[in-house]
Structures are given as C-alpha cells and as structure tokens.
Structure 1
Amino acid sequence: MKIEINTKWELIKAIFITTLVSIIFSNILVYIFETLYSPPLASSDIIGTTLISGIASLLASSIIFYQNFLVSKTKADMENVNRRLLNAQKKLRKQANTDSLTGLFNRRSYFLSMKKEISRYERQQRPFSLLLMDIDHFKKVNDSFGHSRGDVVLQKLAKILQETAREQDIVARTGGEEFSILLPEAKKEEAKVMAERIRETVSKSEMGSQEIEIQITISIGVAEILPGEDVDAIYNRADLALYRAKAKGRNCVELD
C-alpha cells in the first residue's frame, strides 16, 4: 500500500507518542507493583519487569494504532474513490444530455423533456408551446467566414436564447443551425411574444468578433400542444410553421 509522505510522518509521530505513553504507563505500573510487593524486588527484576512491560505495551499499542490507521486510511481512500465516481457519472450524464459546442440541451434530452411535458399536460391539462428556429442563410456564414466563425455565431445565439428564456424554459440545439425552446404553461400567443423578442434581439446583435462583424437573422415557427398529440406531432407542426416563415422571406415568426 502506497502511503503519502505527510501520512508517513503522521504515522511516525503517532507511534512515537504511543511508545512514550506506553513506557510511562509501564513504569507507573512497576512502581505501584514494587510499592505493594513484599519483599521488595531486586533491581534486576525491576529492570526486567519494566522492559518486558514496556515492550508488551508498545507492541499492543502499536498494533492497535496501526489497525486504526489502516481503517481510517481505507475509509478516506473509499470516500475519494466514491467522489471520483460521482464526478465521472455527472460528467458522463452532462455529456449525454448537452450539446458540446453550445452547452444547451441536445436533441435527445430535449425530446425526453417534451415527453415529460406531454405527460404532465395529459394529467393536469396545462398547456405548453414550442419555438423552432433556424439561422437564415447560415451556410453563407460558414462559406464567407469559415466554420470556426460559424461556431462562434452558434455559441452567441445560444447565449441570447438562454438569456431571453424564462427560468422554467428548456433551450436546446436540435440540429446544425436549428434551435428549439420548450415553454411550459405557455399558450401560443405568449410563445409568439417571446419569439418576436428573440428574433428582434438576434437581428440587432453583433454575432462576430472585434475583427469581423457578422449580422444574422432567424426564422421561427411556433406550435402549442393539442389533445392526443405525441412528441413528433407537435414538433412537426412547429417545423411546418418554421417552413412557412422561411417561405415568407425569413426573419419572421409564424404560428401553427
């Protein structure tokens, strides 16, 4: 078993103190025994008794101490291993549920959230809506400025969406330049107000860097859950609304 240097010194100090206490305790016992014993013990007997008693006490104390030390170290090692496992699990869970570029929820986790929201809607009849959006002419951004600049645009758009969304909303990157927001307890009229706010904010924001200015616009489709719908049904309706927004010239919001 590998023991750190600091731990070794703590062990040595503890053994030294244990030894010292054991010797003192042994001498006290011998003194008491000598006082009560009649006739008095010879000097050689006293020395021998002291030595044997001290060694016995030292061995017993050292064994007990080392056992306690091993138990404590094993417990600390196990806690450290458990902590590392928990951190690894959290990291894997995050990687499985989030988009690596933007830090938003990915398509998989977003659809799982929609399923949960549909179940809640069926139980409690609480509405929710979806915003589905695309960056207009994003291919031109990549072709003109490069994919690295395009990635910066995606990251900046993700930040705008997070800052605009409510605390309970779920923001996701569901495709290359496609983003979506799930709005619990929001009818499509409320969702449209948010969609217009997002669209306007994006159109006025600088999405490039200090060296290169990049302006973009987005098109947004809005859909509200209907009775009996599943995840694919509401998502497809939002997608159709997005298609109509693009057909109308882009940089606009369309309700399903």
Structure 2
Amino acid sequence: MRPAERALPPFGRQEAELAREMAGMLRLSVWHAFIAIPFFVWLMHPQVPLWRGAAWAAVFLAVELWLAALSASFGRTPQSLWQTRARYLPLREAMLASSLAWASMMWLMLPDAEGPYRLVTIMWLVGAFALVCLLLAPCRDLQRGYIVGYWAYPLYRLHQEGGSLYLAILIGCAIYILVQWEFLQSFNRQLQDTATLSERNEAMLASVRALHRESMAKKALLEERQQVLQSALRQMRRLAESDALTGCYNQRALRERLDRCAEASLLSGRPWSLAMLDLDHFKQVNDNYGHQVGDRLLCQAARLFESLLPEGAVLARYGGEEFAVLAPEMEGMALLSLMEEARTLLCTTSLEGLPVGKVQTVSIGVAGCRPGEPVRQCLKRADVALYRAKQGGRNRVRLADDAERG
C-alpha cells in the first residue's frame, strides 16, 4: 500500500464529493498556469538567469499537465466510491508535487540583487499561495504541510535580509498566513457542509425514487385488481342477465333492452322489430325422450338461432320453450325474412337426442314496430302473430298486421 493511501482517512460519500469538487477546480486552474507562468518568467528574465527561469517553468508546467490528466479522469458524471477513491490517490500526490513547485518559486526566481523585483516576486508568491490554498481546501490533511513547506524558505530569506522594510514584509506575511489559515478553516467547513447537503439530497432523491417505484408498483397492482374486479362484475352482470340453461339473455335482460331500443327508436325516428319463437310440440319431446333431451334440444336451437342473427340483434329465452328476437333498426319484413331462414335451418337440422328422421320445428310471429310505439303493444302484436302461426298449422312464420295496433 502506498504512503498516500495509508494516510488517507476513511473515504465515504462526503469525501468523494469533496474530491470531485477539487478535480473540478483543478480543471479550471491548470490552463491558466500555462499563461501566467511563461509571462512571469519573461517578466523576471532581466533579474534572473534564463536557465533558472526555464527550468522552474518546465518543472512547474509538467506538474500542471499531470494535474490536468488526473483531474480529467474524474469525468463529468458521478462515479462509484471505489472509482473516485482510485482516482483521488494519485491526484493527492500530484497536488503535493504542485505545492512543492509553487514553494520552489522563491528559491529559483528571487533576484539576488535588492530592488522592486523582489517585491514583485513576493507579491506573486502571495497570490500563488492564495490560489493553491483554494485548490487544496478539500484536502484538509494536506494544508498544514503545504503552508509550512511553502513559506519556510521565503520567511527565512526575509529574516536574513534584515532591515525595517523586510521586517515589515515579514510581519505582514505572518499576518497574511494567519488570516489565510482562518479563511481556509471556514472555507473547508463550507465545503464539508456542501458535501453533506449533497449527500443528503442524493439520499433523499434515492428515497423519493424508491417511494415512486413502490407507488408505481402499488398502482399497477391496484389497476390489475381493478381489472379483475371489473371482469368479475361483468361476469356477474352477464350471469344475472343470462339464462342458466341456454346461455342467451333471460326475460329480465330482454325487457331492459326492449325499453332502451324503444327510446333509441323514438330519438332517431328509425323503426325496429321483434319476433317471438315457440318450439312446436315441445312437451311431447320431454314426455317421450326425457327432460335432459329437452334441455339439450333447447340449447341446440338457441345456438342455431344465434348463428343467423346480425350484429346488434339479441336472442333471449322468454320462458319454457319460447324465445324472443330483438332487432334494433330493422324493419318487420327484414326480420320476417331472417326468421324464415331460422325456421328452415331448424327443421332441416338433425338435433342430438332425437331419433333419426325426427325433426324439431318452430312457429314464429314477427312484429314491425314504429318509433314511439309502446313496448307492451309490440310484444302483444308479436305474440298474436305467433298464435296465428300455430293456428295455421305450426312450422311457419307470420307477420303482425298493422291493423292490430291500438
């Protein structure tokens, strides 16, 4: 394990946030050094040998390039704690090297002769110190060593120079270091608070996302249960409206649809029609072959009738062996023709349970209904037409007369 890694305190989310803050500040500062350092070397060239200035600038800019590469490795998007820590360790080493490069400026660039250039160098040193302190603010464990290493030689030179001017500069630098130290402590606390707040915000955001996922899961479960409930309600409604034996609508459901059809006809002005169907001699079937055969016969007849009905037409078991057909927006003659097809189909079909050669016939009465005509009157007219079909010999279809209307 490297020394920098052994000295590193526990690395958590807060430390990772501070490391990313430092890398972001470094990305902004590195390229400024490539403008300032060559300018400073050019400015000091008349007072400092060129080789010393060039050597110092080369070392310093090499360290800055190192910092640029390491800070760029953090990227723009958040990374895991392990990835951030792995990139933070070499960045700390580069920051130590950069601080040494800044501290060596006084040793390499301070003119030997007295004059205003020495004051310019000292001012430059103060400005560079403030900049590096900001860059090192997230690394609180490096600040003390950096301050001592940075100012040890400059303060020693100022003390050695003697004189009231350099003594005043020495005192001013000491006061400046103390003020800068207090500022760094405050600034570090602000960074810590910012990192803590960011960590809490991330935790809160993660909690909100978890709640959102839980809410969406509960919503999906609720919607699924609602669909199951609606399906069950539809099934219950269907069972309540269905005839238990044949599966077609029962008389209660038929009467509701008759009322709705009459209301719709009154609003639209279009006619509608109704048919009553009665299986001929059905009591003989029950007496001769048993009620089970009669039940199967009713179911088969219902399936045959339903197979001929157009979309929107309704077949209902009216009672016993009697059925009814409701045909919205269909005139009486059209329903008469359709019922004739139903009669022919039934009497030409071999039904299960009946002996070979035995057929089942049906008598049908059809009533064409006008808009506004009462439902009770329509049922009565269809029933009268059915009676006439039976009286006429059965196995036939009859249309109610318009004269039968009240």
Q: TM-score, normalised by structure 1?
A: 0.72
Which residue in 2 is equivalent to 1:24?
Answer: 82
1:123 to 267, 286, 290: 267
Q: CA RMSD of the aligned region, Å?
A: 3.2
Contact 1:22 1:61 in 2 (8 A): no
> Which shows bigger deviation, 122-131 or 211-220?
211-220
2:321 matches 1:177: yes
Separation (CA, whole Å) in 2 of partners of 1:155 and 1:143: 18
- Tell me the percent identity: 32
Separation (CA, whole Å) in 1 of partners of 2:349 and 2:359: 7
Separation (CA, whole Å) in 2 of partners of 1:31 and 1:212: 98
2:223 to 76, 79, 92: 79
Which residue in 2 is equivalent to 1:3?
Answer: none
Shift of 1:91: 0.9
Shift of 1:70: 3.2
Contact 1:208 1:215 in 2 (8 A): no
Which residue in 1 is equivalent to 2:255?
Answer: 111
Deviations 1:85-121 (A, max 9, x none): 1111211221222223323222222222222222233
Structure whose residues are more often helix by fraction: 2
Which residue in 1 is equivalent to 2:160?
Answer: none
Which residue in 2 is equivalent to 1:191?
Answer: 335
Taking a change above 3 Å as real, the CA distance of residues 181 and 73 of structure 1, as seen in their structure-2 partners, is same
Which residue in 1 is equivalent to 2:280?
Answer: 136
Q: Please, which runs of 5 or more residues in structure 1 have no aligned partner?
A: 1-20, 42-52
Which residue in 2 is equivalent to 1:204?
Answer: 348
Separation (CA, whole Å) in 1 of partners of 2:333 and 2:85: 90
Contact 2:248 2:316 in 1 (8 A): yes
Shift of 1:30: 7.2
Separation (CA, whole Å) in 1 of partners of 2:262 and 2:221: 45
Separation (CA, whole Å) in 1 of partners of 2:360 and 2:85: 88
Q: Please, which runs of 5 or more residues in structure 2 have no aligned partner?
A: 1-78, 96-135, 144-195, 401-406
Shift of 1:31: 5.1
> Which residue identity lines up with residue 202 of structure 1 in the other structure?
L
Structure with bigger gyration radius: 2
SS class of match (2:319): coil
Separation (CA, whole Å) in 1 of partners of 2:210 and 2:370: 69
Q: Count the aligned residue pairs.
A: 221
Contact 1:202 1:217 in 2 (8 A): yes
Which residue in 2 is equivalent to 1:95?
Answer: 239
2:281 matches 1:223: no
1:51-62 → structure 2 map (5 Å cutoff): 60=203
Which residue in 1 is equivalent to 2:380?
Answer: 236
> Which residue identity lines up with residue 82 of structure 2 in the other structure?
I
2:207 matches 1:149: no
Q: TM-score, normalised by structure 2?
A: 0.48
2:306 matches 1:162: yes
Deviations 1:136-170 (A, max 9, x none): 11122222222222222111111111111222322
